[in-house]
Amino acid sequence: MGRLRSLLIPGVDKQLLVRDATRVMPDLARRRFIAGGASLGALTLLTGCDVTDSFSAEEMLKQISKFNDGVQAAIFNPNALAPTFPESAITKPFPFNAYYALNDAPTIDGKEWKLEVRGLVDNKRSWTLEELYKLPQVKQVTRHICVEGWSAIGSWTGTPLRDFLKIIGADSRAKYCWFQCADAEGYNSPLDMATALHPQTQMTFKFGDEILPRAYGFPMKIRVPTKLGFKNPKYVISMEVTNDYKGGFWEDQGYNSFSGS
Amino acid sequence: MSSLAVNEQPAAAATSTKVVQPAWVRTVHWINAVAMVLMIMSGWQIYNASPLFDFTFSKSITLGGWLGGALLWHFAAMWLLMVNGLVYLALGLATGRFRKKLLPITPEGVIADTRAALTGKLSHADLTKYNYVQKLLYAGIIAVGILVVLSGLAIWKPVQLQYLTALFGGYDVARYVHFFCMAAIVAFLVVHVALALLVPKSLRAMIIGR
Residue of B nearest to A76 (CA): B160
Q: What is the mean pLDDT of the segment spanning B32-37?
A: 97
Task: Quick: pLDDT tens for A48-83.
Answer: 444 444 468 889 999 999 999 999 999 999 999 999
Domain that holds residue A109: 78-253
Best of B34, B159, B162 to substitute, by most chain A Cβ atoms within 10 angstroms, is B159
Mean pLDDT of chain B: 90
Domain co-membership, A119 together with A199: yes
Please tell me the distance in Å from A231's CA to the nearest CA on chain B: 14
A64 in a structural domain: no
Residue of B nearest to A29 (CA): B66
A32 touching chain B per CB within 8 A: yes
Residue A169 falls in which region: left (phi positive, over 0), alpha (psi -120 to 50) or beta:
left
A174 in a structural domain: yes
B171 in a structural domain: yes
Q: What is the mean pLDDT of the segment spanning A28-37?
A: 43
B12 in a structural domain: no
Number of structural domains chain B divides into: 1
Contact A260 B160 (CB under 8 A): yes
Residue of A nearest to B59 (CA): A35
Domain co-membership, A48 together with A158: no
Q: Please state, as a whole number, how many other Cβ atoms lie within 10 Å of the Cβ of residue B103.
A: 10
B7 in a structural domain: no
A69 in a structural domain: no
Residue of A nearest to B46 (CA): A148
B190 in a structural domain: yes
Task: Quick: pLDDT tens for A211-242.
Answer: 999 999 999 999 999 999 999 999 999 999 99
Best of A27, A32, A34 to substitute, by most chain B Cβ atoms within 10 angstroms, is A34
In DSSP terms, which residues pair with A151 in a beta bridge? A145
Mean pLDDT of chain A: 85
Say what angle helices B67-94 and B132-156 make with each other, to 10 degrees.
130
- Name the pLDDT band for B185 (thresholds 50, 70, 90): very high
Partner-chain residue, chosen from B63, B160, B171, that has the shortest CB–CB distance to A80: B160
- Residues B55-75: b if buried by 16+ CB within 10 A, e if exposed: eebeeeebbbbbbbbbbbbbb
Number of structural domains chain A divides into: 2
Phi/psi at B40 (5° precision)? -70, -45
Q: What is the mean pLDDT of the segment spanning A235-261?
A: 96
Residue of A nearest to B175 (CA): A149
Contact B68 A62 (CB under 8 A): no
The pLDDT assigned to A20 comes to: 57
A82 touching chain B per CB within 8 A: yes
What ipTM was reported for this prediction?
0.86
The pLDDT assigned to A21 comes to: 54
B27 in a structural domain: yes
The pLDDT assigned to A2 comes to: 44
CATH of residue B132's domain is: 1.20.950.20
Sort strands A151-160 and A202-207 into parallel, antiparallel or unpaired. antiparallel
pLDDT value at A42 more than 80: no
Domain co-membership, A93 together with A16: no
Contact B71 A150 (CB under 8 A): no
Contact A68 B46 (CB under 8 A): no
Domain co-membership, A21 together with A148: no
CATH of residue A128's domain is: 3.90.420.10
Best of A40, A68, A146 to substitute, by most chain B Cβ atoms within 10 angstroms, is A68
Task: Quick: pLDDT tens for B66-99.
Answer: 999 999 999 999 999 999 999 999 999 999 999 9
Domain co-membership, A16 together with A88: no
Task: Quick: pLDDT tens for A162-214.
Answer: 999 999 999 999 999 999 999 888 899 999 999 999 999 999 999 999 999 99
Domain co-membership, A209 together with A109: yes
The burial class, CB within 10 Å (0-12 / 13-18 / 19+), for B104 is exposed
Count interface pairs A-B at CB distance under 8 A. Answer: 90
Please tell me the distance in Å from A258's CA to the nearest CA on chain B: 12
Rounded CA gap, B154 and B176, in Å?
A: 11
Residue of B nearest to A80 (CA): B160
Give B169's contacts (C-beta < 8 A, 6+ positions apart): B177
Q: Are A144 and A121 in contact (CB under 8 A)?
A: no
B4 in a structural domain: no
Partner-chain residue, chosen from A65, A225, A250, that has the shortest CB–CB distance to B72: A65
Domain co-membership, A205 together with A157: yes
A210 in a structural domain: yes
Domain that holds residue B155: 21-208
DSSP reduced 3-state for A118: strand
Q: What is the amino acid identity at position A223?
A: R
